[in-house]
Amino acid sequence: MQFKRIVALSTVLFCMIGADVSAEQGAKVYVNGQMLNSEAYIINDRVYVPLRAVSESMGARVNWDNSSRSAYVEQTEEDIIVNTVAQTSQSVVAIVGNYKSEYLSKDAQNYNELYAHGAGVVIKSNGTILTNAHVVEGIQNLTVIFGNGDSYSGVVQYMDTVSDLAVVKINKLGLKPISFAEEGSLKVGQTVVAIGTPLSVNHINSASKGIVSGVGVNIGQHYLFTQSDVAINGGNSGGPLINTRGELVGINSIKYVGSDIEGMSFSIPVDTVNYVLSSFEKYGKVIKPDTGITFTESWESKIGVPTKKGLSVTASKNAQILPGDMITHVNQYEVHSIADYNEAIKKSFNGYSVTLTFSRGGVVSVCEITTN
């Protein structure tokens, strides 16, 4: 087995068909981030718009039966996916560039082409784009291409290779940013769609559909991932994984490949995305605590067997913790793997100290380490 990195409306809406209403106008109504062109009315602090305008913006069909004065709205999963992809694709880009000469000379056999390409997604209207770090690392002449063919020169603003996330900036205002899903809202079995640029820019904004196969999955990387059976290929890297509301639930990053492997793709979940973006804005990088301690996972954790074993200390520059100790908690979060450790830091690191719970000879102790 091997893996490859792969390059609301708060008020109630009612139908006004056949109604003669005198009311205040001027309200703006958005459905899935798209403003309706139809007139809206405010009556007794409620917003009213034609039902057809709402349903059509969602890709649904509306039929009116005048004899029974009934409206019938029909929307299939296919309608939802088609509309969602159409709306979200406005925020998805292709990213292309040339490899720097030192990257070509360092490991030339890995580069079959002189240029690299991947995907990205707009996260701010001012030209801020999120992608994978491995899409832009070692790349020059960076160009961002939209689905309509518009292209802009881009520069890497921030990059973190550990989380495999980077921010690219272009000189363009008025872009449509993607909406972020709520952290922890993703469920196994939920329908998701990947949008990106597989294989070449000829396939810009290609979409593939699947389901969430697992959440919080440990694949031996620094953080936990979202697993899906969505088809992703080289060039999908950095593109969004979205739910049926068009919200970002992950950044497509890794797939397993092999003769006996099928449908195993992995995305960086939105909680890690939020953490990294927040760190970029606060510090210009992701702050990682230096405890002076080196540790390793148990063999059970390495092969994915559920275990209660913590992290075994192999070396330490800290007088409180010695080689052979076992770290069981980081800032009160239980840890069994490298990914668990980083997830605990992601959730709780205050920027200057880490509290470790460890066992030595059956005795449990707690110490606070000031980090560099």
CA-based max dimension of the chain: 84
Neighbours of 67 (CB within 10 A): 5
Axis-axis angle for helices 270-283, 338-348 (nearest 10): 60
Specify the long-range contacts of residues 297-303, CB closer than 8 Å, at least 24 apart: 297/336, 297/337, 297/338, 298/336, 301/218, 301/336, 301/337, 302/220
CB 224 within 8 A of CB 106: no
Catalytic residue among 57, 237, 279, 337: 237
The single residue of 55, 57, 91, 164 carrying the catalytic annotation is 164
CA angle 90, 91, 95 (to 5 degrees): 110
| Nearest-angstrom CA–CA distance, 59 and 75 | 7
Identify the sign of the CA torsion 359, 364, 370, 371: positive
**Cα separation, 144 vs 117, whole angstroms:** 10
Q: Any catalytic annotation for residue 164?
A: yes
Q: Let me know if 237 is a catalytic residue.
A: yes
Q: Which of helix, strand or coil describes residue 350?
A: coil
Name the active-site residue from 117, 134, 222, 336: 134
Tell me whether residue 271 is one of the annotated catalytic residues: no
Contacts of residue 303, Cβ cutoff 8 Å, sequence gap at least 6: none
The secondary structure of 302-315 as a DSSP string is: HHT------EEEEE
State the Cα–Cα distance between residues 149 and 154, nearest whole angstrom. Answer: 15
Which residues are known to be catalytic?
Answer: 134, 164, 237
